[in-house]
Amino acid sequence: MVAAVFLSFVAAIFTMGDPIEGGRPIIWTIWYVAVFLIIMMALYDFSKLSKTRMKRVALVGTVVGVVFFSSVKGYYVYTAGLRIEERGVELLDYKPFQQDSNLAKLDAPASFKIGSDVPRLDGATALYPLYAAFVEATYPSGNYDPYRPDASRVVSTTTGEAYDRLIYGQADIIFVAGPSDRQIAAAERTDVKFNMTPIGREAFIFFVHEDNPVDSLELEEIQQIYAGDIRNWKEVGGKDDSIRAFQRPEGSGSQTALQRMMGERELMDAPVEDVPEGMGGIIEQAAVYQNHKNAIGFSFRFYASEMITEHDIKLLQVNGVAPTVETIADGTYPITSEFYAITTEERYEQYKPFLDWMTSEEGQALVEQTGYVPLAKD
């Protein structure tokens, strides 16, 4: 009996899915083995089954364990083949004042410099390469670790956390998309007013798996998908397959952009499993966007095409227009918006020289060299 139980346990371990995928197979294994042991001990102590029949029961339990956990393994292998994965962004690749960084650089020293009392900066992951370039151009040389909000004066948390840190005086300038209604309400509750300086333009984009035959959607169709009115790809020229429409956490820059894109339409509720963290969190580890070949997701162009380069996705055209630097600049891509350097009204005058420099020729040169679209010239 003990040998059979042990064999069942070993079979479960070797046939289960990857425990890193969420840990559930380990829990299933422990529960299965525990219940199996209890049943076998009860039968052994209280039944009058012969040893032959006990062996048969143990064999059946082992077979059931192998079949069950082999099925679990098969499920993980199958879904891994379907998954769209956003490989992780390593912010240290863009850390200022280090050799071989990926930062954009000016051809000559910046005309504006900051002394020892440097502003505390925070912002969205997608904008970190830009404001890290601002830091390298204007700050004194130092160790500005993007993952250490407890120790570094230049970090990248999330859009939502950056707004919170600005509201509660833990950051001086944040680099983000415009605030959501919740973030505006949170500022009003603490009697804080935002001062928003536009520093560039960006496209809000939608993507699908590269094997999806759909290449373009009308803006109206995207709104209908996220309202829950269109639920099958065949309704928009694709295969007969249900649409899995992913969303982002509330308060993230991209989720706020989605809510604004919806206009007067009501955004459907997304299942919890369809709201991955993605571009959020202090991303010391890779952010994984686990969606499938029938899925649609969204992000910002620079993040999806420049910071994340190893993936199996394609960016959709909207109204027949691809999201490119040129179509953002001339306004033909229909979902574009400005992004901001935001401080509070209380601190605006203190940091105005730095903010003015960001919109100057030098600052806008770094915007363009980073890969974003600079502000239109007057």
The domain ranges of the chain are 2-82, 91-200+339-370, 202-336
Strand-strand pairing, 173-176 and 336-344: antiparallel
Give the whole-angstrom CA distance, residue 250 versus residue 258.
10
Q: What does DSSP assign to residue 87?
A: P
**Per-residue pLDDT at 223:** 96
Q: What phi, psi does 71 have (nearest 5°)?
A: -65, -40
Q: What is the chain's pLDDT, residue by residue, as a tens digit (378 residues)?
A: 545 555 555 555 454 444 433 444 555 566 566 666 666 666 555 555 566 766 676 676 666 666 655 655 554 444 444 344 444 568 999 999 998 888 999 999 999 999 988 999 999 989 999 999 999 999 999 999 999 999 999 999 989 999 999 999 999 999 999 999 999 999 999 999 999 999 999 999 998 888 889 999 999 999 999 999 999 999 999 999 998 888 888 878 888 889 999 988 999 987 544 454 544 221 222 223 344 678 888 888 888 777 766 567 789 999 999 999 999 999 999 999 899 999 999 999 999 999 999 999 999 999 999 999 999 876
Instruction: Report the CATH architecture of 202-336.
Output: 3-Layer(aba) Sandwich (3.40)
CATH superfamily for 91-200+339-370 is Periplasmic binding protein-like II (3.40.190.10)
Please determine whether the domains at 91-200+339-370 and 202-336 fall in the same fold group of CATH. yes
| Residues 270, 274, 277: CA angle, nearest 5 degrees | 115
Question: Token pair for residue 188?
Answer: 């009003």
**Per-residue pLDDT at 149:** 94
**Per-residue pLDDT at 40:** 61
Q: What does DSSP assign to residue 30?
A: H
- What does each C-alpha distance from 193 to 166, 168, 235, 239 come to in angstroms? 10, 12, 45, 48
Chain center to CA of 29: 31
Burial of 264 (0-12, 13-18, 19+ CB in 10 A): exposed
**Per-residue pLDDT at 114:** 96
353-361: list long-range contacts, CB under 8 Å, 24+ apart.
Answer: 353/112, 354/112, 354/114, 354/119, 354/138, 354/173, 355/173, 355/197, 357/110, 357/111, 357/112, 357/138, 358/134, 358/197, 358/199, 359/197, 359/198, 359/199, 360/111, 360/112
Helix, coil or strand: residue 180 = coil
Of the candidates 260, 272, 283, the residue with the CA atom closest to the CA atom of residue 159: 283
Answering whether pTM is above 0.95, one says: no
